[in-house]
């Protein structure tokens, strides 16, 4: 009865408020039975949502509504769910706003305290001698934490599994105890699919481990697998796999790289941890005294379905096992000026809908990608107009290492602009679909763990045309192994991209076109790149069987689109007769009005060169000093200096908007100024 009385009183108070702009307040000192005023705030963001629902029940909103969250950390035991019933309108928008100047955290993590020295002699014996006095243990069950999640297979072709409980210390995800502490070891041989011989005898320390796991690149440098191990055979220096788990491309010892994790015996450096799930004990070597430690519990923080005209601003979303913020369908929702970190999956996911935006956010320590936005109808080429702008995305894909981009878009007519992306193991950007715009971004130090991969990667589709990459600054992109790292990688006959006005500096292979048609590469600057422009003829040699296969990806994807109708034939006229135009032979690619100094300008297969336009490029492969890029103190490009400015003018080269590349200072940024460390790469000489 008391609960009903409180609700009725709240409705009466809401009815007395004017129907213009409204404010509700949430504070850690509040109570959800309060009216939500500044003097008597709610305790949870869910109460703010419910108060808006009651307002709408009393009549249509007449003006904007704001839920102000005051300083503090708010634990969300489950995701805040929002539906069409929680939508605003174009004239009566709804904003969930962190108090100006305050730190407001929406967290899915539980605090872990009561750390004690390790006294169990059996555990001490398993730890390295140097770790025994440093490692601490916490009784999780004694603190009411009983659900730890399960380690799961993940990696190439394994989808987006939700993470198990992870430890976060001082706002940074910690490392599950592993060996080696960084990098990988090699394999030497295999005996069937179950037994893999390796180059270490350290596994004598691991035979008592209850649940060891391995992350390995078993064959390709772009296909990893995280899987449980059955055990170890120290006498043979052998890892014992579960033979029922099949790596996508088999096991090739000469290509294999691996490390083991979830191994208590390897908890031997600051920042590593291990959970004994049987006893409910958490072991941890704190990186420094007095650290704040949290264990991720909640799967997601915000889940919105068919939501419209709602903004989340100036908030910190952190410490969840899945994706922090998800929008399914809906219209004109925004995540603005927020920090999103320490997630088990993505930072923000947008699926469907129109005009959603992620702007000015810092996204880092995510388990898979950073921001992904899909929307628009490809069959009718209807745009979605999603926008990812002025975000700083870094140290992403720490769990699922490949094909999880910092920012990815798909569908029709979405945009990635003014973002700064760095420190990723594989790709930074992707744009699947049609008529997307990628402009004014800065990307560096990505493709750090993989090879034969691209900082921007798309592939194997004749129909995904009309995409534009312009005025981006790409630098210090090398690749870790194998074929190295491409910068813009149009793989396996991908077609119809425009690459204009970009700056490529210290890139392994800057523009790599794998046999596609109708790509335009103009007015770009290549400075000190190992290879600037590549075009090969794979569709007429090693990829010819896939080109001609009526059930293969290329033709299946072609037939999935109405590419011969009036709309498509008008928009992409070169696509209409592709099957009658010797498919697989790259044609009509344009390389014109580019500047290149240092490295090698082009690598275009001679038999197909007459089918392309390669003209009016200024090339000084052996004169690195012919062209110089000047950056300001923060590393942002400012101007280009040429040895022969008259030659550049005669070429018709257009000035580049260098000062607009990368992040910009505006009221929507979560943090400013932004500091990021650039590691200059050393490219091969041959």
Give yes or no for a cis peptide into 392 (omega within 30° of 0). no
pLDDT at 8 over 70: no
Q: pLDDT category, 192, cuts 50, 70, 90? A: confident
Q: pLDDT category, 289, cuts 50, 70, 90? A: confident
Which position has the token pair 């936005």?
373
pLDDT at 10 over 50: no
pLDDT at 382 over 50: yes
Which position has the token pair 């991720």?
296
Q: What is the mean pLDDT of residues 206-218?
A: 96
Contact at 8 Å (CB) between 179 and 259?
A: yes
pTM for the structure as a whole: 0.95
Q: What is the pLDDT of residue 624?
A: 87
Which position has the token pair 């990667």?
457
Q: What is the mean pLDDT of residues 241-252?
A: 94
Q: pLDDT category, 265, cuts 50, 70, 90? A: very high
Q: What is the pLDDT of residue 633?
A: 87
Model confidence over 657-682: pLDDT tens digits? Answer: 999 999 999 999 999 999 999 999 99
Which letter, b or e, does each residue of 159-179 get, where b requires 16 or more Cβ atoms within 10 Å of its Cβ?
ebbbbbbbbbbebbbbbbbbb
pLDDT at 12 over 60: no
Q: What is the pLDDT of residue 482?
A: 67
Q: What is the mean pLDDT of residues 302-309?
A: 98
Which residues, 6 or more positions from 286, have their beta carbon under 8 angstroms from its beta carbon? 115, 134, 136, 169, 270, 293
pLDDT at 7 over 90: no
Question: The tokens of 123 are what?
Answer: 């555990």
E strand or H helix that includes residue 82: strand 80-82
Q: What is the mean pLDDT of residues 385-394?
A: 98
Q: What is the pLDDT of residue 21?
A: 65
pLDDT at 9 over 80: no
220, 211, 225: which is closest to 154 by C-alpha?
A: 225
pLDDT at 13 over 70: no
Query: Which SS3 state, helix, strand or coil, does residue 51 take?
Result: helix
CB atoms within 10 A of CB 388: 32
Q: What is the pLDDT of residue 480?
A: 87
What is the rounded CA–CA span in Å between residue 332 and residue 76? 25
Question: The tokens of 29 are what?
Answer: 């000192």
Q: What is the mean pLDDT of residues 162-170?
A: 97
Question: The tokens of 466 are what?
Answer: 């009309």
DSSP 8-state class, residue 11: H
Give yes or no for a cis peptide into 673 (omega within 30° of 0). yes
- Sorted by where each begins, the domain ranges of the chain are 1-71+78-103, 110-176+267-294, 178-266
315, 269, 319, 268: which is closest to 112 by C-alpha?
A: 319
Which residues, 6 or more positions from 301, have their beta carbon under 8 angstroms from its beta carbon? 76, 79, 80, 106, 107, 108, 317, 320, 324, 325
Question: The tokens of 242 are what?
Answer: 């579960």
Alpha-carbon 657 to chain mean position: 26
Q: What is the mean pLDDT of residues 611-622?
A: 95
What is the rounded CA–CA span in Å between residue 440 and residue 313? 23
Model confidence over 359-373: pLDDT tens digits? Answer: 999 999 999 999 999
Q: What is the mean pLDDT of residues 161-171?
A: 97
Question: The tokens of 531 are what?
Answer: 């290879």
Q: Which range is least confidently modeled, 327-331, 376-380, 620-624, 644-648?
A: 620-624
Model confidence over 504-536: pLDDT tens digits? Answer: 999 999 999 999 999 999 999 999 999 999 999
Question: What are the CB-based long-range contacts (under 8 Å, 24+) for 550-557?
Answer: 553/460, 553/461, 554/460, 554/461, 554/462, 554/492, 554/493, 554/583, 557/460, 557/461, 557/462, 557/463
- For the chain, give the mean pLDDT: 94
Model confidence over 415-445: pLDDT tens digits? Answer: 999 999 999 999 999 999 999 999 999 999 9
pLDDT at 15 over 80: no
Q: What is the pLDDT of residue 634?
A: 85
């Amino acid at each position: 009865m008391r609960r009903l009385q409180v609700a009725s009183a709240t409705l009466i108070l809401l009815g007395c408020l004017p129907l213009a702009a409204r404010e509700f307040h949430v504070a850690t000192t509040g109570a959800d039975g309060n009216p939500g005023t500044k003097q008597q705030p709610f305790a949870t963001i869910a109460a703010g949502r419910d108060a808006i629902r009651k307002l709408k029940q009393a009549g249509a909103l007449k003006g904007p509504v704001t839920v102000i969250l005051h300083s503090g950390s708010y634990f969300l035991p489950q995701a805040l769910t929002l539906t069409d019933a929680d939508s605003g309108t174009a004239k009566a928008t709804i904003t969930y706003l962190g108090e100006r100047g305050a730190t407001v955290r929406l967290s899915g993590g539980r605090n872990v305290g009561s750390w004690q020295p390790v006294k169990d002699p059996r555990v001490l014996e398993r730890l390295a001698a140097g770790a025994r006095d440093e490692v601490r243990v916490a009784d999780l069950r004694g603190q009411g934490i009983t659900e730890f999640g399960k380690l799961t297979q993940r990696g190439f072709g394994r989808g987006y599994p939700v993470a198990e409980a992870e430890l976060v210390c001082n706002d940074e995800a910690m490392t599950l105890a592993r060996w080696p502490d960084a990098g990988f070891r090699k394999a030497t041989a295999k005996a069937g699919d179950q037994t893999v011989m390796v180059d270490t005898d350290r596994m004598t320390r691991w035979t008592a481990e209850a649940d060891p796991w391995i992350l390995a690149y078993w064959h390709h440098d772009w296909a990893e697998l995280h899987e449980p191990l059955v055990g170890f055979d120290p006498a043979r220096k052998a890892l014992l796999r579960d033979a029922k788990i099949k790596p996508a491309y088999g096991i090739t010892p000469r290509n294999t790289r691996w490390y083991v994790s979830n191994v208590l015996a390897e908890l031997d450096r600051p920042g590593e941890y291990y959970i004994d799930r049987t006893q409910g004990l958490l072991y941890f070597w704190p990186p420094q005294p007095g650290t704040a430690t949290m264990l991720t519990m909640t799967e997601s923080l915000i889940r919105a379905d068919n939501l419209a005209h709602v903004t989340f601003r100036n908030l910190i979303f952190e410490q969840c096992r899945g994706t922090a913020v998800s929008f399914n369908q809906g219209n004109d929702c925004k995540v603005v000026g927020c920090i999103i970190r320490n997630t088990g999956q993505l930072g923000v996911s947008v699926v469907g809908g129109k005009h959603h935006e992620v702007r000015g956010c810092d996204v880092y320590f995510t388990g898979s990608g950073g921001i992904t936005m899909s929307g628009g109808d490809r069959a009718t080429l209807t745009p979605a107009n999603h926008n990812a702008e002025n975000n700083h995305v870094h140290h992403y894909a720490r769990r699922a290492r490949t094909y999880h981009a910092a920012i990815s878009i798909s569908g029709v007519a979405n945009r990635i602009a003014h973002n700064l992306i760095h420190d990723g193991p594989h790709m930074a950007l992707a744009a699947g679909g049609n008529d997307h715009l990628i402009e004014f971004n800065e990307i560096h130090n990505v493709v750090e763990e993989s090879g034969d991969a691209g900082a921007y990667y798309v592939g194997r589709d004749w129909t995904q045309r009309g995409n534009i990459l312009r005025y981006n600054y790409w630098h210090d992109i090398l690749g870790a192994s194998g074929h190295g790292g491409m910068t813009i990688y149009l793989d396996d006959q991908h077609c119809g991209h425009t690459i204009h006005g970009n700056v490529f500096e210290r890139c392994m292979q800057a523009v790599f076109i794998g046999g596609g048609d109708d790509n335009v590469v103009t007015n770009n600057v290549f400075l000190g790149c190992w290879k600037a422009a590549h075009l090969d003829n794979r569709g007429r040699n090693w990829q010819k069987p896939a080109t001609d296969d009526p059930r293969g990806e290329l033709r299946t994807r072609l037939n999935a689109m109405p590419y011969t109708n009036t709309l498509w034939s008008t928009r992409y006229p070169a696509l209409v007769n592709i099957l009658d135009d010797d498919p697989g032979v790259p044609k009509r690619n344009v390389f014109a009005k580019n500047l290149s100094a240092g490295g090698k300008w082009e690598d275009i297969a001679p038999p197909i060169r007459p089918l392309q336009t390669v003209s009016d490029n200024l090339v000084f492969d052996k004169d690195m000093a012919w062209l110089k890029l000047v950056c300001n103190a923060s590393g942002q490009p400012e101007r280009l200096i040429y040895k022969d400015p008259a030659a550049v003018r005669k070429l018709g080269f257009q000035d580049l908007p260098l000062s607009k590349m990368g992040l910009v200072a505006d009221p929507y940024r979560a943090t400013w100024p932004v500091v990021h460390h650039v590691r200059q790469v050393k490219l091969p000489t041959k």
